[in-house]
């Protein structure tokens, strides 16, 4: 799967999509006919909020994996290393589901969130990622926990917007699962920061 497909629009796009909805129901769409199992599963109606969620969550998950992978060799705290592994293990299958939905709906691949013109909600800039990659030990642990916490909070906002405004059952189910898992990670990270 091309790396560019694993990127998404920032949460600002979701806010714009939802703001255009006002009191009216979001525009409903139906996926184009296809024969793959993922496409058949996603061939139920979807709306603009579903598309915004899938694109944003895809990029959010990819950046979460990029961030978590830094902890494997740089973190000194075993609790943080275990949390980072959990992020990777959770995000890999979710990325596949999100990619499948986007493809089944006939939507374009998400933009790369590392592009300078892309606004972010909770995303870590390329400069911050590079600075984090240059740290190790306790310095890395503190900065990693702070950045991952901010990134997880953005993920909950993205997922919660989908559960409130989305129409596609698979996307809504994935959003609910994402929100629960990231809220647990937020709790774990806050516990680490207080400890």
123-138 pLDDT, tens per residue? 888 889 999 999 999 9
Q: Which pLDDT value is given to residue 25?
A: 40
Of 18-32, 37-51, 167-181, the poorest mean pLDDT is in: 18-32
Rg (CA), the chain: 17
CATH node for 3-16+41-194: 1.20.1260.10
- The upper half-sphere exposure of residue 70, i.e. CA atoms within 13 Å in the direction of its Cβ, equals 22
Under 8 Å CB-to-CB from 171, ≥6 apart: which residues? Answer: 46, 50, 53, 54, 101, 162
79-129 pLDDT, tens per residue? 999 999 999 999 999 999 999 999 999 998 777 766 654 556 788 888 899
pLDDT, greater one: 12 or 177 = 177
Residue with tokens 């998400």: 110
Question: Which of 169, 165, 172, 153 has its CA nearest to residue 19?
Answer: 165
160-186 pLDDT, tens per residue? 999 999 999 999 999 999 999 999 999
């Amino acid at each position: 799967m091309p790396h560019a497909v694993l990127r998404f629009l920032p949460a600002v796009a979701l806010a714009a999509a939802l703001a255009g909805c006002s009191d009216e129901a979001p525009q409903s769409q139906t996926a184009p006919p296809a024969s793959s199992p993922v496409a058949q599963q996603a061939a139920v109606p979807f709306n603009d909020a579903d598309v915004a969620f899938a694109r944003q969550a895809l990029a959010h998950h990819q950046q979460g994996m990029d961030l978590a992978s830094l902890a494997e060799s740089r973190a000194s705290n075993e609790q943080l290393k275990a949390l980072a592994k959990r992020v990777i293990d959770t995000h890999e299958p979710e990325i596949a589901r999100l990619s499948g939905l986007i493809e089944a709906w006939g939507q374009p691949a998400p933009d790369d969130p590392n592009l300078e013109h892309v606004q972010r909600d909770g995303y870590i800039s390329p400069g911050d990622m590079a600075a984090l990659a240059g740290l190790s030990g306790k310095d890395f642990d503190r900065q990693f926990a702070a950045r991952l916490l901010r990134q997880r909070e953005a993920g909950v906002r993205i997922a919660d917007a989908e559960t409130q405004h989305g129409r596609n059952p698979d996307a809504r189910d994935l959003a609910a699962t994402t929100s629960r898992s990231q809220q647990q990670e937020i709790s774990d990270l806050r516990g680490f920061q207080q400890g």
